[in-house]
Structure 1
Amino acid sequence: MKNLLIIFVMLFTQMSLQVSAQAITEGKEYQVIRAQGDQGDVVQVYEFFSYACGHCYEFQPLIESWAESPPKGVQFNQMPAIFNERMIPLAKLFFTLEDMQLLDSVHHQVYEAIHEKRLNLLTEKKILDWAKNNESIKFNQFEKLYQSFSVDSKVKKAVQLTRSYRVPGTPYVTVKGKYITGPSMVLRPEGGGVDVVRFIATLNTLIEKD
């Protein structure tokens, strides 16, 4: 299924090349969030998400398939958006899985637990209980990392990036720390969800944009 999604995204990418840069409009498909973007040779692309967000769950196949083969010189990052203290426990879950190098195997399990199995993972206790009963997770290591300085530092960075990049909600994608776009900005005018071709065209155009 994942390989099929990658093929579809590659096809959509080719189609998106037909959407000219002139057709991508500030204030419609994207916004400028800062006059001066991040400096560096590598273009940083951040997906701001929340495990509790249903739209983020639906967005994962698209953004992750695109990230399988991003344009040259691009680094794709997933970043929990943190708008308030209630969002910290799930953000810590993500960073703990990242430190344990378990995102490939467990990241989607978290989404499925919340949105398919309807589990409540909004508190630290609920998360620890879930992790303890997950065969993919070494619980003692998980519990230690969940409370670690490393994870707390990453949470602070997530809070700072959410604010400085002016992330209005989830899911949104920032490019170069200067531009922001998201599926809600590229909906099909006739209905039917996200215009995948226009989203990919927008993302790739912003990567090339000064």
Structure 2
Amino acid sequence: MKRYLPFALLAALALTACTGKDDAASTDAPAATDTAVSEEQLMKDAAAAAAAGNDPNAVVADPAVAEAGAAPTPPLATADGPVPGLKLGVDYQLVQNGQPFEPLNGKIEVVEMFNFVCPACASFQPLIGNWKKTLPADVRFTYVPAAFGGNWDQYVRAFYASQTMGIAEKAHEKVYDAIHLEGKLKGERGEDSDAEIAAFYSQFGVDAKAFAGNMKSFAVTGKYNKAKQYFAAQSIGATPSTPTIFINGKYRVLGRSAEDRLRVADALIAFERAQASGAAAPATP
């Protein structure tokens, strides 16, 4: 089934973002001074979770990340100067000590931090889903699910379970549909059990019991921990929110609308390509 959201809903969600289970939509503006969710509290929560050794979702915070989070500084221009045609703080932010999610290996990395429970992510998916199909061969697009706690974290595990079982691509948009259009899964409206989520994913050719077990497997837990730590590190100096696009881990895309985010992402990709080749970056409109 093709996904179409009502125009009014798309317009309303164009500049919104999800910041957590109890705050599904908030303004996605430059957030260097927004203290709704401080990085200090974020790292305290991560450390508390790690201390609970029986918690399958526990993740140990990187000491370097914790140290950086203790004294955040505003994003500054790079030594090479701002990106031509883009305005720092309006079109993009620099990520403090930002790193790519995976080794670049000659690629330009685009990461979308998302969560299936997030309504803003659901509205953004048709745009970014079509856009990523147009990316050139030197660009690697990666979905990284954000763990905000509660049912959101189950969907992080579900995403990685589907990835390890080879059904992530064909299931991706269908999960959004099930939550936000069809009501087959509760998402932000309630708590979906592992069994309910697994039963939904079984339509893509996997055994529901095996899928539910895989959600708590060692492999999925490792991927969950990596995604959670990446989100914490990349959110220092800004309120954690979804959907958020990162380019090479160095740039957090802002933009004035959902469509404008993709314009900014294209410009940052071109800038990174030019930087790698030593050529002058093309000016953006």
Query: 1:170 pairs with 242, 247, 252, which one?
Result: 242
Counterpart residue identity of residue 49, structure 1:
F
Structure 1 range deviating more: 54-63 or 110-119: 110-119
Matched, 1:28 2:97: no
Structure 1's unaligned 5+ residue stretches are 3-20, 188-193
* C-alpha displacement of 1:70: 1.1
**Does the aligned pair in 1 maintain the 2:113–2:145 contact within 8 Å?**
yes
Q: What is the aligned length?
A: 182
In the TM superposition, what is the alpha-carbon distance from 1:125 to its structure 2 partner? 5.7
Q: 1:112 Cα deviation (Å)? A: 1.3
Q: Aligned AA for 2:148?
A: F
TM-score, normalised to structure 2's length? 0.57
Report the Cα offset of residue 31 of structure 1: 0.6
Measured after TM superposition, the shift of residue 163 of structure 1 is 1.0
TM-superposition CA deviations, 1:147-185 (whole Å, max 9, x none): 210100000001111011117201000011110115xx3
Cα distance in 1, alignment partners of residues 166 and 242 from structure 2: 24
**In 2, Cα distance between equivalents of 1:55 and 1:62:** 12
Tell me what 1:7 maps to: none
- Residue among 207, 214, 229 paired with 1:145: 214
For 2:142 and 2:224, the matched residues in 1 are separated by 14
Tell me, which stretches of 5 or more residues in structure 2 are unaligned? 3-82, 276-285
Counterparts of 1:151 and 1:37 in 2: how far apart (Å)?
22
* 2: CA distance, partners of 1:124 / 1:138: 22
Give how far 1:131 is off. Answer: 2.3
Deviation at 1:186, TM superposition (A): 2.1
3-state SS of 1:51 partner: coil
Aligned residues of 1:34 and 1:179 also touching (Cα < 8 A): no
Distance change in 2, residues 1:129/1:37 (3 Å): closer
Rounded Cα–Cα distance in structure 2 between residues aligned with 1:93 and 1:37: 25
Label 1:72 to 1:138 Cα distance change in 2 as closer, same or farther (>3 A): same
**Structure 1 or 2: more helix by fraction:** 1
Q: 238, 256, 263: which is aligned to 1:186?
A: 256
Find the counterpart in structure 2 of residue 57 from structure 1: 122
Q: Which has the larger radius of gyration?
A: 2
- Write out per-residue CA displacement over residues 19-57 of structure 1, whole angstroms, 9 at most, x where no aligned residue: xx6432110011101356547422221100011111101
AA at the equivalent of 1:53: C
8 Å CA contact 1:44, 1:74 repeated in 2 = yes
**Post-superposition shift, 1:86?**
4.7
User: Which runs of structure 1 show a deviation greater than 3 angstroms over 4 or more consecutive aligned residues?
Assistant: 35-40, 83-86, 121-125
- Identity rate of aligned residues, in percent? 27
Name the SS of the counterpart of 2:154 in structure 1.
Answer: helix
Task: Give the one of 23, 45, 56 matched to 2:110.
Answer: 45
Is 1:128 the counterpart of 2:195? The answer is: yes
Are the equivalent residues in 1 in contact too, given 2:113–2:244 (CA < 8 A)?
yes
CA contact (8 A) 1:49 1:80 kept: yes
Cα distance in structure 2, aligned partners of 1:85 and 1:125: 10
RMSD after superposition:
2.5
- 1:79 maps to a residue whose letter is V
Higher relative CO (CA 8 A, sep ≥ 6), structure 1 or 2?
1
